[in-house]
Amino acid sequence: MSSSSSPKPADGGRLCVLVHAWPRLSMTFVAQELVGLESQGLNLWIATYGKPDAIRHPIHDQLKAEVHRLADKGVDYPRFLRAFFKVRRKPGFAAALALFRRSMKARATRREWRSFARGVIIAAELPADIRMVYAHFIGSATTVARYAAMIAGLPLAASAHARDIWTSSEDNIRDKLSAMDWCTTCTKLGAEYLQKLSGDPAKVHLIYHGLSFDRFPSDPPRRGNADGSDAPVQLLSVGRAVEKKGFDVLLDALSKLPANLRWHWTHVGGGKILDQLQNQAEALGLSNRISSLGAQDQRQIIDLYRGSDLFVLPCREASDGDRDGLPNVLMEAQSQALACLSTDFSEIPELIIDGQTGVLVPPADAVALTEALERLIRSPEERERLGLAGYKRVRSKFEADGGIREIAGLLRKSMQ
């Protein structure tokens, strides 16, 4: 499936970007980067597999690149066989096949087979002007990208983020890093970990996502003085209903607030434990004080940022090791001068200075979260102070353009 408005190839050729399930609302930071790379003069060709979200972010429509889709689920076997016979005599195919056999011997999984098959298909269908393969997330997307790059004889790079780092084995990451020209990641903790695993730590680059602030209103909204005694204080969370977001902890914390304190929590996002959270809210007697809106587009989310009193995101480590890095929604909320309450976990303290530009509590600590919630609900003055301080810091320290220029420079060097 191709876009009719694909950019013409530049003299330096095009870049193959491999990303899973394009487009997804939870990966708007990837879209922001790709649109930024196009603005830097790079021509992109996107290869993707997996089911995309039904709702699109406006930034997805800004991308001019051709989008090349593989099967959403499983492997299209006729397509794979055609690709196999096309690439089997390429110089890099034997090495890719040997890697696949080693990988299957170490961990024989359907996922590895699908990754190899997808890599073969992409390698066979790459346009002739592709000069490099670049993957977003160091998990399965990089596995696919590595097979494709090996077969096609192209350089490989990747961008690592959060779950893909912390739920992959050290050996798997070490092996992938050895095959790359370079790798970026968006948190200091992630960069230090990847540098420790790399035979060449200099190939790991810390580049924050930041925000392209031209997508957000620049004027802080005027908020009311609700303190929970009369009109309810509007609490907002944006994020998928998954364990690492800590929304079950938030529900426990909300249930411990004084009964006469008035508040309303709005949650935006889908997710696999949404029903579980709704059942928990009902059991705690909170259902009539909660709105669950599901996935929303960016315009609606910005309106919610501007119309709410406090943003709450109690991140923690999930039981499978998954964790957030530096959630973009915290930066988005701060861009609208919305006071933020989160946890001193992972890379969140790189963005929020506790007591100065927001409030941080220990992860998975419902008691501490309740105490912070009550204090902030009762104090519109503190919320305003924190919101304005967060607004000033995020707009001065976390602008995206510098990082995008750095990534564009790395890509151009590898594509030479």
pLDDT tens readout for residues 389-401: 999 999 999 999 9
Q: What is the DSSP letter of 299?
A: H
Rounded to the nearest integer, the mean pLDDT of the chain is: 93
Please choose, from the candidates 340, 30, 16, 36, the residue with its C-alpha nearest in 3D space to the C-alpha of residue 162.
Answer: 30
* Rounded-to-integer distance, Cα 237 and Cα 211, Å: 18
**Coil vs helix vs strand at 44:** strand
The band of 56, judged by pLDDT with boundaries at 50, 70 and 90, is confident
List Cα–Cα distances, 346 to 173, 324, 342, in angstroms. Answer: 19, 7, 11
* Rounded-to-integer distance, Cα 321 and Cα 319, Å: 6
pLDDT digit string, tens, across residues 112-146: 999 999 999 999 999 999 999 999 999 999 999 99
Could you identify the residue written with the tokens 């420790």? 196
The band of 11, judged by pLDDT with boundaries at 50, 70 and 90, is low
- pLDDT value at residue 106: 84
**Three-class DSSP labels, 200-254:** CHHHEEECCCCECHHHCCCCCCCCCCCCCCCCCEEEEEECCCCHHHCHHHHHHHH
- pLDDT value at residue 45: 98
- pLDDT value at residue 242: 95
The band of 325, judged by pLDDT with boundaries at 50, 70 and 90, is confident
Sheet holding 14-18, edge to edge: 66-69, 44-48, 14-18, 130-136, 156-160, 182-185, 204-206
- What is the amino acid identity at position 248? D
* Rounded-to-integer distance, Cα 402 and Cα 47, Å: 26
pLDDT(7) > 80: no
Q: Which structural domains are found in the chain, ordered by start? A: 14-209+400-415 (3.40.50.2000), 214-397 (3.40.50.2000)
pLDDT(181) > 80: yes
The band of 15, judged by pLDDT with boundaries at 50, 70 and 90, is very high
Helix (H) or strand (E) holding 151: helix 140-152
- pLDDT value at residue 221: 95
- pLDDT value at residue 139: 93
